[in-house]
Structure 1
């Protein structure tokens, strides 16, 4: 019932636009700050590994294996992915373009931060991003997706029709 409400209610796009703009601004600011001021994830990643020790560790062993086995050895990749990912998620949410994908990538980053022991405003952001994901296209009706998604659907349908006509002619 709640899913149907988020996906079909005519007033929800206005509320979700406010949420999108808020979350988008948070991501945009965080990413732009990292892009312009320089960013190095190595300190954060090694700090997360250290938080896996003790009686009540903030970081789970399986995540430490990922950090030690992949993230830390490839920190240069993360030094680019994190700032630009945050910036592009923010831009996507603010403009309402590829909104559900931007919300999904934002949620993935929020979970990665939480898995690394950082709470801050990540749980709040994830909750709002989940509402945006559930609402789907209804969350993007006030944004560029209003025009872009129907255009993409039309192009995909046209291509499928061409493939079918080519197949039936043979």
Structure 2
């Protein structure tokens, strides 16, 4: 019943628009600050690894191993991925473009920050993003997805039809 409401109801589209705009603005501002500033995740990553010790570690050992062996040695790449990822997810959510994919990428970043021992607004953003993901295409209905998704669907059908005829 709730899933049907989120996926098909026009009122839900309006509610999802508000959630999408809030999340999009949050991501875009965070990303813009990093892209235009002097962002370096190195200290953050080292701090996260430090939270993996003690009786009740905030960071799980397996995640600390990932950070030590993958993220920290490639901090330059992660600086780019985080800053541009946040900015692009924000813009996509604000415009309602590829909304479900943008929300998925956003929630993956939120979980990475949570795994690294940071709470801040991440749990709230995860919760709101779940509604967008469950709603699917209805979350972008009041956005550019209203035109983009049907166009892509029609091109996909035409391409599939043309390939079937060729056989």
- Shorter-normalised TM range: over 0.9
In structure 2, the residue matched to 1:75 is 75
- RMSD value, Cα: 0.6
In structure 1, the residue matched to 2:61 is 61
Matched, 1:146 2:146: yes
In structure 2, the residue matched to 1:52 is 52
In structure 2, the residue matched to 1:157 is 157
Q: Which blocks of at least 5 consecutive residues in structure 1 are unaligned?
A: none
Q: Which blocks of at least 5 consecutive residues in structure 2 are unaligned?
A: none
In structure 1, the residue matched to 2:43 is 43
What is the correspondence of 1:58-137 to structure 2 with a 5 Å cutoff? Answer: 58-137=58-137
Runs of 4+ in 1 over 6 A off after TM superposition: none
Residue by residue over 1:101-142, the C-alpha shift from the partner in whole angstroms, topping out at 9 and shown as x without a partner, is 000000000000000000000000011111000000111100
Residue by residue over 1:115-170, the C-alpha shift from the partner in whole angstroms, topping out at 9 and shown as x without a partner, is 00000000000111110000001111000000000000011111000000000xxx
TM-score by length of 2: 0.99
Q: Distance in 1 between matches of 2:5 and 2:66?
A: 38
Q: CA deviation at 1:8?
A: 1.3
What is the correspondence of 1:24-43 to structure 2 with a 5 Å cutoff? Answer: 24-43=24-43
TM-score by length of 1: 0.97
Q: Distance in 2 between matches of 1:76 and 1:37?
A: 14
Q: CA deviation at 1:69?
A: 1.3
Q: CA deviation at 1:38?
A: 1.9
Residue by residue over 1:10-59, the C-alpha shift from the partner in whole angstroms, topping out at 9 and shown as x without a partner, is 21000000000000000000000001112111100000000011111100
Q: Distance in 1 between matches of 2:13 and 2:4?
A: 13
